Amino acid sequence: MIHNVRVLQDDFVPEDVRHRGAEVNHLSDTLCPSVVGDRPAPSVLYGPSGAGKTSSSKHTLRQLRPSRILRDVATGDRTGDIAGR
């Protein structure tokens, strides 16, 4: 029985990703250079459908985003509240 239908929506990002702590930490470490404006190392997420790749990556980006200095590595544009500073 599904208690919260919101979890089935495409834009849902969990507050906590269970059983994927090591993967979230590794992805966070890989993306960390982007927090200071450097280019992060390439990352490839792989696994079977439903393994949590999208949820883990969205969760990790949400955790990094409060720094407000994540950059789009393709364009160099800043994202977040201080865009354009």
How many structural domains does the chain have?
1
Is residue 8 assigned to a domain? no
Q: Is residue 11 part of a domain?
A: no
Sign for the pseudo-dihedral over CA of 24, 14, 18, 2 = negative
Residue 13, in any domain of the structure: no
**Partners of residue 71 on adjacent β-strands:** 78
Q: Residues 78, 85: contact at Cβ < 8 Å?
A: yes
Is residue 40 a part of any domain in this protein? yes
Residues 6+ apart with CB under 8 A from 14: 7, 55, 59
- Virtual CA dihedral for 16, 20, 66, 39, nearest 10 degrees? -170
63 occurs within a structural domain? yes
Mean pLDDT value across residues 22-44 = 89
Assigned domain for 5 exists: no
Residue-wise pLDDT tens digits, 11-20: 888 888 888 8
Q: Containing domain of residue 26, as a range? A: 20-85
In a domain, 58, yes or no: yes
For 45-78, the pLDDT digits (tens) are 999 998 889 889 988 888 887 765 455 544 555 5
- The confidence score (pLDDT) of residue 26 equals 92
* Domain-embedded: residue 15: no
